[in-house]
A = this chain, B = another copy of it.
Amino acid sequence: MSAKTDKMVTVPKAVINRLPMYHRFLYQLLLEGKEKISSQELSQLMRITSSQLRQDLSYFGEFGQQGYGYRVETLYQAISGILGLEKQYTAVIVGAGNIGRAIVNYPGFSRRGLKITGIFDNNPKNIGSQVGNLTVMDVEHLADFLKKYPVQIGIVSTPVQAAQKVAYILMKSGVRGIWNFAPIMLEKNGDVVVEDIHLGDSLLTLFYRLNEKEGKN
């Protein structure tokens, strides 16, 4: 067992943000049938340093073997465990636009344990339509639905104007996490976890980087 975990060192945020990347690469290696890999080789694939990889893993335990490396299967399972992927996570989506539909239809999410139990919208055009094997419900019924069928996660893919209101309903209905796609910093009530994904911010970062490169010519 790792000394660091014993000492209750808190895991740096930067490390947590890299865990999904480790998971993604190891999954790929597993598909390719690779059995073992060294920190050296794995880190080159990921374009990070091998010491960063080893240091990161050391926050959670010892997963490799000196002189040999890591068994891909073992490390993949370990990181899956750290991320909590053995569990199922139930969720509803609010906002049945393209983003909401993309989430329902992307198989990668259900593979990782996300189970979507309902999708809601306020637009009469969308209500009643099929998304995957779900029927879009009226957002008016969101609170009632969650009372009957509680979920852990609320996914907000509404336009920005609706997002905060929806988030309050979700939080009041007991969701423990919100996956937010709207370009707004949501106010919390209670100790809900909010994970933002701001497409617009990412685009602007791309713009900046394009100009930065230009400036260097």
Contacts and interface: CB of A to CB of B under 8 A. Distances in A.
Contacts of A84: 207-208, 210-211
A83 interface: yes
A89 B207 contact: yes
A46 B204 contact: no
Q: Chain A: interface secondary structure?
A: helix
A143 interface: no
B99 A176 contact: no
A80 B210 CA distance: 14
Interface of A: 16-17, 19-21, 23-25, 45-47, 82-85, 87, 89, 97-99, 101-103, 105-106, 108-109, 112-114, 152-153, 176-177, 179, 183, 185, 191, 193, 195, 197-211, 213
